Amino acid sequence: MNNPNIRIVSAAEAVQVVKSGDHIHLSSVASAPQCLIKALCDRGDRGELRDVFIHHLHTEGPAPYADPKYEGIFQSSQFFVGSNLRRATQEGYADYIPVFLSETQKLYRCGALPIDVAMIQVSPPDKHGYVSLGTSVDATLAAVECAHTVIAVINKYVPRSFGQAMIRMSEIDIWCEDDTPLIEAPFTAPNEVETAIGKHCAELIEDGACLQMGIGAIPNAVLAQLGGHKNLGIHTEMFADGVLPLVESGVINGMNKVTDPGKMVSTFLMGSQEVYDFIDDNPGVLMMDVGYTNDPHIISQNPNFTAINSALQIDLTGQVCADSIGTKHYSGVGGQIDFIYGSSLSKNGKAIVAMPSKTNKGISKIAPVLNPGAGVVTTRAHMHWFVTEHGAVNLYGKTLQERARLVISVAAPEHREELDRAAFERFGPHHTYIKMECGM
């Protein structure tokens, strides 16, 4: 790239700014700067660094800094446990900072977490002296604002997205270049169970609703059922390929949104190249700071806000575990509570937790009590709609005994008797009485 205002250095030269004891932020998901990660690990191999802390949301691609050989050199202290760091976290070679996704930016801005170096990927500069953070604004914008040094990798594959993704070239201290394509997440076709969940969720979504949902088979299954809906909006922490057909058909147009009407709002993306191409130079998409997208009070301003989130396990009272399997951390708190709380404050809003009733091995994901050590992400007091392939039930305003009855009604049929016995043991014959009174 020829730009007289930029001096391009190698990744190896750029990471020389890192000192032992520094705290580093990496841009997230598809935008993780792999060339800088590799160069940093090369310095670790040469014994040049000690006690360097690495922070980020979940990243795609390799995370070599969490290899056991770097113990004492690099410490991954992440805001969300991705698949590439799951085993290292469970074995203690990486660590996790429990935090609402909306507050990841606040950790930097309020000084709770130091930030010495921000390592990011950006689009090529435009004629006005701006680059774009592309697919990863999230907490990265806060890192850019607060870091002592900002290293940017110019990558022609980073889309030029708008909103708060646009930053001035003057905010960047060191420039590198790497034209490695962004990592893609292939579209996952829903199976029979996921399709059934999608149908139940779609029945709860009204015309004119504003939606939040993530990536994966269940969100895709929900979106696939919305072709007959009208005037939907998007205000979410992320979206993927499933929204594109609905945008093209006009189902998603944002015309009923109160905040950012007519615009799709997100804070990071993970999808196919088609998604990355879609947001490139697209004024209809705003990539915003996670402190904005995940602010419950911003969310709640949109009427009929419908948030759909997933879980790993739920108990009979409506406590939801979404970040761990027992004591083993599997993901993170993420934005689940941000959107469940925000949507519950919205006029006619709906907060939905959707998941298969059992694992692939046939184990019930609905349990009498959560596994020992399981983290409660969504409390029983936050819980509203719960959906499995067997139906949708609303737990809001229900007693513990009523909740047990409702949750059991959408459990896998082969597990209902066992769950009902557990409810009887916990609540006594009153559980059976309520069951009869409600005609179930």
Residues recognised as catalytic: 237
β-bridge partners, 367: 315
Strands 305-309 vs 350-354: parallel, antiparallel or unpaired: parallel
The SS3 assignment for 174 reads strand
Among 150, 154, 152, residue whose Cα is nearest residue 178: 154
Provide the 10 A C-beta neighbour count for residue 7. 8
Among 297, 228, 242, 299, residue whose Cα is nearest residue 265: 299
The Cα 227–Cα 23 span in angstroms is: 46
Alpha carbon distances (Å) from 221 to 37, 85, 166, 196:
35, 27, 33, 8
Residues 6+ apart with CB under 8 A from 349: 300, 303, 304, 305, 306, 307, 342, 343
SS (H, E, C) 304-350: CEEEEECCCEEECCCCEECCEECCEECCCCCCHHHHHHHHHHCCCCE
Residues 6+ apart with CB under 8 A from 379: 319, 320
Whether residue 102 contacts residue 290, with contact meaning beta carbons closer than 8 Å, is answered with yes
